Copies of this chain bind each other. A is one copy, B any other.
């Protein structure tokens, strides 16, 4: 009987097929964007409804000025640690030898370990996802002035589904701004409402794709026609705000950022919370899951 049941359930339908067909497709989302309600956390009903509609919300001041200084100092300490540059979790720009990202930063830095379990973050994540949460990924990013490069449009969920085996759209990212985000210094852009559409991408995931995709993603990149349709339909929001503020956005938001020729750098702490009811399985379109520092395989809830 067990074997029969298993057979009936296998193969499970993939609601979000990607990197399997020769042509791209726009598919309807099959998961709610908000699972909790206003009573279950710090986000009020209006903001929750707006998150549901747009796929993101902003908190103008999430951390105090003193905390901000502490996180900046910790980022500076990490960036100047030459030992750390040898760590595979650290992305260094070859030309300048400057640190661009530190992944799994909550395991590398005690300061950021404290931030990722802060109730101001975790409470909001649990409220949106309607369950306990664990950390799928964490990192700090540093985008310098004068030469910051762009990041092309993508849905994080597309990669997490294809390469990490995340089954459903039930994860939320939070970006805590360590510098001011202006409309001119390469701030994140989101197509509001795009989280309701899954753009199925073409191409097959190469082995160890993450080594390339951290620099410039090719496979898992949405096609221009789909992007034009989404941009016409939803427009584009440039997400500005002061240092110390935070942005939370759905795993399937279509987002990207332009380059930055201004003198103003951008840095942030970026944490992905996933529902403990949505833990990662076998990748849906890759031979192996990515390393744990990009897509965690430890699903211990954050408390």
Residues on A lying within 8 angstroms of B by beta carbon are: 145-146, 150-153, 182-184, 186, 189, 224, 227-228, 231-232, 236, 238, 256-264
User: How many Å from the CB of A281 to the closest CB on chain B?
Assistant: 32
Q: How many copies does the complex hold?
A: 2
CA A227 to CA B182, docked complex, whole Å: 17
A240 to chain B: closest residue by CB: B183
* One of B146, B182, B258 near A186 (C-beta < 8 A): B258
CA A195 to CA B228, docked complex, whole Å: 37
* One of B151, B184, B189, B228 near A236 (C-beta < 8 A): B184
Q: Which residues of B contact A259 (CB under 8 A)?
A: 150, 258-259
A237 to chain B: closest residue by CB: B184
CA A261 to CA B152, docked complex, whole Å: 6
Q: Which residues of B contact A146 (CB under 8 A)?
A: 224, 227
Verify B258–A261 contact, CB threshold 8 A. Answer: yes
Verify B258–A236 contact, CB threshold 8 A. Answer: no
CA A133 to CA B283, docked complex, whole Å: 66
CA A257 to CA B259, docked complex, whole Å: 10
Verify A184–B258 contact, CB threshold 8 A. Answer: yes
The answer to whether residues A153 and B261 also contact, given A189-B184, A236-B182 and a CB cut-off of 8 A, is: yes
A259 to chain B: closest residue by CB: B259
Verify A262–B150 contact, CB threshold 8 A. Answer: no
Most buried by B among A145, A146, A150, A189: A150
The answer to whether residues A238 and B152 also contact, given A146-B224, A231-B264, A261-B256 and a CB cut-off of 8 A, is: no
CA A260 to CA B82, docked complex, whole Å: 34
CA A144 to CA B146, docked complex, whole Å: 22
Verify B258–A227 contact, CB threshold 8 A. Answer: no
User: How many Å from the CB of A229 to the closest CB on chain B?
Assistant: 9
